[in-house]
Amino acid sequence: MKDLFNELKFVTLWDPIDLGTGNTPKVSAIIDLQGFNSCVLHFAYGSIADTDATFTLLIEDGDDSALGDNAAVADIYLNGTEAGATPLFSNDNTGFKIGYTGNKRYLRATLTPANNTGAILTSAVAVLGHAAAAPQSTQAV
């Protein structure tokens, strides 16, 4: 069996959280892609209490470490779509992924709810792969 453990790096976008009620966007940590040639973002959802909430996912990239030059990632640089990685109110206990193939150094995600009057349990992580230097052996993520 091949060793995947030493080939990947995981970066927490946001810790498990209840976004609560309201429509406040959840902006992820900024991911530094230096030294990696692939990235997949994974969004996990627990209970989504509201029965008519909708969500919008935005993936942005740039070369400034604070993403002062941020721009929405063009669809050509995404594996899958932002809409396809976004839950419906009926998607309790599910996960979605989207891949990034662009050439910018930094990346972030923003999840924006609308019509939300209930709890939204979520977490998100970036999986970086095809490392320029291996092993990526630390177990802390």
| CATH assignment of the domain containing 49 | 2.60.120.1570
Positions in the chain whose pLDDT score sits under 70: 137-141
Query: For the range 100-104, what are the long-range contacts, defined as Cβ-Cβ under 8 Å and sequence gap of 24 or more?
Result: 100/33, 100/38, 100/39, 100/40, 100/41, 100/59, 100/61, 100/73, 101/38, 101/77, 102/61, 102/73, 102/74, 102/77, 103/77, 104/33, 104/61, 104/62, 104/63
Q: What's residue 131's pLDDT?
A: 86
Q: Is residue 100 part of a domain?
A: yes
Q: Is residue 139 part of a domain?
A: no
| Percent of the chain at pLDDT exceeding 90 | 67
Q: What's residue 32's pLDDT?
A: 96
| pTM score | 0.92
Q: Is residue 60 part of a domain?
A: yes
Number of structural domains, the chain? Answer: 1
Q: Is residue 137 part of a domain?
A: no
Q: Is residue 29 part of a domain?
A: yes
Q: Is residue 114 part of a domain?
A: yes
